[in-house]
A and B are shown apart, each in its own frame.
Chain A
Amino acid sequence: MGDEAAIRISNLRVTAQGLRSRLLEPPEGEDQVVLDDVSLEAAKGSVLAILGESGGGKSTLLRCVNRMVEAEQGSVEVLGRDVKQWEVRELRHTAIYVPQRSFLFGGSVREELIHPLRWNGRGPIKMPFGEVLQAVGLEVDQKQPASELSEGQRHRLCIARALLLFPKILLLDEPTGSLDVRTAREMLAALLAWAKEREVTLVCVTHRPEDLDALGGDALMLLEGKVAGRYPARDVLSGKVDADTSAFLGSPSGSKP
Chain B
Amino acid sequence: MIGAAQVNDPGWLGLVAAGALMLVVLGVALALGINMIKEGAIATARATVQLLVVGLILGWIFAREHWWAICLILTVMTGIAGFTAGRKVNKVLKRMGPMFTLVLAAVTALTLIYVTQLAVGEHRFTAQYFIPLGGIILGNAMTAAVLATTRYAEDLVEQREKVEAALALGASPAQATRAMERKAFTAAVTPVINAMLIVGIVKLPGVMVGTLLGGVEPLVAAKYQLVVMFMLVFGDGMTALAVLNIVRRRAFTSAWQPRL
- Chain A residues in the interface with B (C-beta under 8 A): 21-24, 66-70, 84, 88-89, 92-93, 96-99, 101, 103, 105, 115-116, 119-120, 158, 161-162, 165
Cβ of B93 under 8 Å from chain A: yes
Looking at the assembled complex, report how far the CB atom of B88 sits from the nearest CB atom of chain A, in whole angstroms: 16
| Docked CA distance A84–B254 (Å) | 11
Cβ of B44 under 8 Å from chain A: no
Q: How does the 8 Å CB contact mask read for B157-186 relative to A, with 1 for contact and 0 for none?
A: 100011011111111100100000000000
- Nearest CB in chain A to that of B171: its residue: A119
By size class, the interface of chain B is: 20 to 34
B172 contact from A22, A66, A89, Cβ within 8 A: A89
A120–B170 touching, CB < 8 Å: yes
- A sample of 29 cross-chain residue pairs with beta-carbon separation below 8 angstroms, ordered by A number, consists of A21-B157, A21-B260, A23-B93, A23-B94, A23-B251, A24-B92, A24-B94, A24-B260, A68-B167, A68-B168, A70-B253, A70-B255, A70-B257, A89-B172, A92-B167, A96-B169, A99-B165, A101-B161, A101-B165, A103-B165, A115-B169, A116-B169, A116-B171, A119-B169, A119-B170, A158-B165, A161-B169, A162-B169, A165-B169
Q: Which of B202-260 contact A (CB under 8 A)?
A: 250-251, 253, 255-257, 259-260
Looking at the assembled complex, report how far the CB atom of B176 sits from the nearest CB atom of chain A, in whole angstroms: 8
A92 contact from B161, B168, B259, Cβ within 8 A: B168
Q: Which of B72-96 contact A (CB under 8 A)?
A: 92-94
Nearest 9 interchain pairs by C-beta: A116-B169, A103-B165, A119-B171, A97-B168, A103-B162, A22-B259, A92-B170, A119-B175, A88-B256
A-B contact count (CB 8 A): 69
Beyond A23-B93, A23-B250, A68-B164, is A93–B257 a contact (Cβ under 8 Å)? no
| Docked CA distance A69–B251 (Å) | 15
Dominant SS among interface residues on chain B? loop
List of A residues within 8 angstroms of B166 by Cβ: 103, 105, 115, 119
A98–B168 touching, CB < 8 Å: yes
List of B residues within 8 angstroms of A161 by Cβ: 169
| Docked CA distance A230–B165 (Å) | 29
B257–A68 touching, CB < 8 Å: yes
| Docked CA distance A70–B164 (Å) | 14
List of A residues within 8 angstroms of B165 by Cβ: 99, 101, 103, 158
List of A residues within 8 angstroms of B164 by Cβ: 68, 99
A66–B257 touching, CB < 8 Å: no
List of B residues within 8 angstroms of A158 by Cβ: 165
- Nearest CB in chain B to that of A86: its residue: B255
| Docked CA distance A120–B171 (Å) | 7
